A = this chain, B = another copy of it.
Amino acid sequence: MLDTPRPRTRSGGRNARRAARSAPVFDMLPGLERNLPVCEIMTGSQVERIHDASMDILENVGVQFRDPIALADWKRAGAKVDGELVYLDRGLVMDLISTIPSDFTYTARNPKKNLRLGGRHSIFVPMTGAPFLRDLDDVRRNPTLDDLAMFHKLAHMSPALHSSAHHIVEPYDHPISQRHLRITYSSMKYSDKTFMGMTTSPKNAEDVMDMCAILFGADFMETHPVTTGNCNGNSPLVWDETMLGAMRAFCYHNQPVLCSPFVLGGANTPASVAASVAQLNAEALSALAYTQVIRRGAPAIYGHYLSTVSMKSGAPMAGTPEISLMNFMIGQMARHYDVPWRTSNTLGGAKTFDAQAGYESATTLSAVMHAGANYIWHSAGWNEAGMHCSVAKFVVDAEQCAMAHRMAQGPNWDDFDTAVDAVSDIGPGGHYLGHPHTQDNFQTAFFMPDLFDNNSIEQWVAEGEVEITERALKHARKLLNDYEEPKLDIAKDEELRDYIARREREIPASDELNQSF
């Protein structure tokens, strides 16, 4: 079990203030231990209603597993298989998912950055998969491996981000067939936080497992999750061979898979919030159950990617009320089954880092905090419906996560009596700025965002009317300037490089440089 220390912000006093001043600003915040009550929008009987509807779907509509190995596995596990359709009895499903750990420790190469995941324990993970970036000059273009390294460094330097993820952006300057190797290496090299593993094909997933074995040891991985892989379902009710093969690679090695139906509400689900959740729940459970067919007791995460579709344009939307509601409901379902769950954070459909992006992102962040999500993915950089990762938005989102991290801890009661004593000391009509309690606590009592300007307009004008994008890019440049590489063990680094070199000799370099997801 991970020791989750109380965050610095909780301990008042002069020593704490001194410590806060001298500590490097890019220390990672501990994994979040939420004290915020979860938003239970459904009654117990409504949870049962979703559960029953999902079970009816699994038993009577069935789920398509477009993969001969999975179909054979399901037959052996006792499911009714008809062509590619698998009908899952509710007893079988519930029995299988019962062995998924309700929480686990996610190991980083720096053990101080290990994270507990599940129950009240949550983590923030940056966005991934962007085919474009908005760079340090806010120019929108295709990313390179250097850009990817830059984002891994920014993730490393952002206290509230708990992971360097994997392909935050798609590095277009390397053949797609070999890209997963370079992405994985970049995640491992430029940050010592947890990272994600590519699931772009079963073979690619095997390569990631090999690289993790180099970094952590194959035996260690048998008992310790060291990476996470995402497997998207094709809603409605389809899992394909690529995803299922990648899932097997991860599960065989005891590495957690995010079982993520890809939901565009209204297009690939019914035009109903509650029925969309029932379908998504059936889909997630079918994959969660399959992880336990692959390996009983392997960790797994109830996932989803979730948007609603504009019926005017067909475009996915972000920050809508129904996305918030579905997050609350999915959280309730995951807790009903006692499995950790994943959501998507700070989504935005804006084309630039404008007010729309701010509203969408903050609405989503608030919703997922109140929903009680554990694996809070896409927590930094996402804009334009995931088509680009913005450097400016990345650092602002990361600060927003730090603010949400603080909020979800709830109020500090430790100094309540001395703080209330200050009210008698000051009395009616006074002010607190010079009071010893204020002096001891002002640095930590109220969060002061670095990237928001709260000065007067006169001061803002005098300072050149710097808007948030420019402020954020300046901050990103400073982070990159201050970045210090968390050194990899030299022997392991060499072994990883040798592995990549060998695999790149073995894997034909594809001509394509297009996006992988």
Contact = CB atoms under 8 A, between A and B. Distances in A.
Interface stretch (A111-119, A291-299, A407-415): A407-415
Contacts of A316: 454
Nearest to A365: B363
Which of A278, A319, A441, A452 has the most chain B CB atoms inside 10 A of its CB? A452
Nearest to A456: B315
A182 B265 CA distance: 49
A27 B512 CA distance: 53
Contacts of A315: 454-456
Interface string A25-51: 000000000011101111000100100
A505 interface: no
A269 interface: yes
A384 B429 CA distance: 26
Contacts of A422: 270, 275
A445 B35 contact: no
Given A272-B416, A410-B41, A428-B238, A362 B446 contact: no
Contacts of A412: 272-274
Given A313-B455, A321-B406, A351-B453, A359 B446 contact: no
Contacts of A270: 419-420, 422-423, 432, 435, 437-438
Contact of A427 (B237, B308, B410, B441): B237
Contacts of A359: 358-359, 361-362, 396, 400, 452
A478 to B, nearest CB: 17
A288 interface: no
A360 interface: yes
A403 B317 CA distance: 13
Contacts of A400: 359, 363
Interface string A259-289: 0000001111111111101110000000000
Contacts of A46: 413
Interface string A362-393: 11011100100000000000001101000001
Contact of A311 (B40, B384, B442): B442
Contacts of A85: 428
A451 B355 CA distance: 11
Contacts of A271: 419, 432, 437-438, 440-442, 445-446
A1 interface: no
Give the interface size bracket for A toward B: 35 or more
A317 B452 contact: yes
A406 B321 CA distance: 6
A37 B39 contact: yes
A444 B259 CA distance: 29
Contacts of A274: 411-413, 416, 419
B311 A356 contact: no
Contacts of A320: 403, 446-449
Number of copies: 2
B238 A432 contact: no
A446 B311 CA distance: 8
A445 B273 contact: yes
Contacts of A366: 362-363, 366-367, 370
B430 A468 contact: no
Contacts of A41: 35-37, 410-411
Interface stretch (A59-67, A95-103, A247-255, A336-344): A59-67
Nearest to A312: B448
Nearest to A237: B428
Contacts of A387: 457
Q: Chain B CB within 10 Å — which of A308, A370, A448 has the most?
A: A448
A355 B468 contact: yes
Contacts of A325: 407, 410-411
Interface string A195-226: 00000000000000000000000000000000
A460 interface: yes
Contact of A321 (B355, B358, B403): B403
A80 to B, nearest CB: 15
What are the 4 A-B residue pairs with the smallest beta carbon separation, nearest first?
A: A358-B358, A275-B419, A366-B366, A321-B407
21 contacts: A41-B411, A62-B428, A236-B428, A237-B429, A266-B433, A266-B442, A267-B431, A267-B432, A270-B432, A271-B440, A271-B445, A272-B419, A272-B437, A274-B412, A311-B448, A317-B448, A319-B452, A322-B445, A351-B453, A351-B457, A358-B359
